[in-house]
Amino acid sequence: MQSIKKVGIFTSGGDAPGMNACIRASVRTALHAGKSVVGVYHGYQGMIDSNFEEMSSRSVSNIIQLGGTILKTARCKAFRTKEGRQQAYDNIKTAGIDGLIAIGGDGTFTGAEIFSREHNIPVVCIPGTIDNDLYGSDFTLGYDTATNTVIEAIDKIRDTAASHDRLFFVEVMGRDSGCIALNAGIAGGAEAILLPEKATAIQDLCSQLEIAAKGNKASTIVIVAEGEKNGGAYNVAKAVKDRFDFYDTKVTILGHLQRGGSPSSFDRVLASRLGFAAVRHLLAGSTRVMVGLWGNEIRTTPLEEALNNKAFKLSEDMLEMVEVLSI
């Protein structure tokens, strides 16, 4: 095995708070080990376009607290083709990059796995996505910050909902994963939570809301994950309004504000630990693995295993708790 001399670092897919803290940790760990570091801008697209920049320790000064990603990110169609990946490989070879650190979600990991096998280039991945949907890590970068952002919004909506006796439907991110919806819903004291993992009949939701109405609650908040089976917050609100026309119903779609913002202390520490560990593993010869948090330890999981297992298992106990605590 030849030792790696130049590490390429990139962020890809959806941005997530903590990516910058992770870039900082990866860059400085590689520099500390005497390696050169190249930042690849716009994820896989940047490899295809040769959008590279040599990085020093100062390139990552004063970014630990910033949301987004200084390396930018992208969704790149061309990388899904063999020709696109060949172009990317030719460019990184010309730039002298002989090892990669990829920060992103499952799509990024799939691309990394294919690319690494096709061109025999070592790659270590870091779970960076607000969805918290990657097997092999208890938490992904950005999830904690995003959940706290949602809770802050719920608290504010609660103030206005309580003042007007309103029923609010708050839609949060999560096309396939209800992790943000469930945990933000519990922490925000939601009366009901609708998730992609479990179909909720409108009739059952109405029965739950009826209990809340009979309990003389001043406000009711229903958290709706964007991927839930009734088609999102507007559809759910309309179906409920047809049955409960005495309620003044309102819908709030939180949208992209959930992605932004300064990372929480949890995300900054996680980002630092994962960036540090990823580079150490890459330089020690690991490839096609992701680094993740298990309990309080950082462990590696083969990308194949991470991609073929489901991360978030819905706990029926938690759902029952939501119902019990909403009376």
Which of the residues are catalytic? 131
Nearer to ligand ATP, 173 or 205 (CB): 173
Site membership for ligand ATP, residue 110 (CB under 6 A): yes
Nearer to ligand ATP, 179 or 322 (CB): 179
Site membership for ligand ATP, residue 105 (CB under 6 A): yes
Element at 186 (helix H, strand E): helix 179-187
Nearer to ligand ATP, 304 or 323 (CB): 304
Site string for ligand ATP, 13-32 (x = CB under 6 A): xx------------------
Q: To the nearest whole angstrom, how small is the minimum distance from the Cβ of residue 201 to ligand ATP? A: 29
Nearer to ligand ATP, 27 or 146 (CB): 146
Site membership for ligand ATP, residue 116 (CB under 6 A): no
Nearer to ligand ATP, 258 or 326 (CB): 258
Nearer to ligand ATP, 29 or 177 (CB): 177
Site membership for ligand ATP, residue 177 (CB under 6 A): no
Q: By the 8 A CB rule, do 76 and 115 touch?
A: no
Q: To the nearest whole angstrom, how small is the minimum distance from the Cβ of residue 294 to ligand ATP? A: 20
Site membership for ligand ATP, residue 75 (CB under 6 A): yes
- The owner of tokens 């006796």 is 165
Residue nearest to ligand ATP (CB): 107
- The owner of tokens 């790659």 is 123
Q: To the nearest whole angstrom, how small is the minimum distance from the Cβ of residue 91 to ligand ATP? A: 15
Site membership for ligand ATP, residue 12 (CB under 6 A): yes
Q: To the nearest whole angstrom, how small is the minimum distance from the Cβ of residue 44 to ligand ATP? A: 4
Candidate ranges 108-116, 194-202, 240-248, 313-321; the one touching ligand ATP (CB under 6 A): 108-116
Q: Which residue among 79, 143, 168, 276 contacts ligand ATP (CB under 6 A)?
A: 79
Q: To the nearest whole angstrom, how small is the minimum distance from the Cβ of residue 79 to ligand ATP? A: 4
Strands (E), the chain: 6-11, 36-40, 52-54, 99-104, 123-127, 166-172, 192-194, 220-225, 248-253, 289-294, 297-302
Site membership for ligand ATP, residue 119 (CB under 6 A): no
Interface residues with ligand ATP (CB under 6 A)? 12-14, 44, 75-76, 79-80, 104-108, 110-111, 114, 129, 131
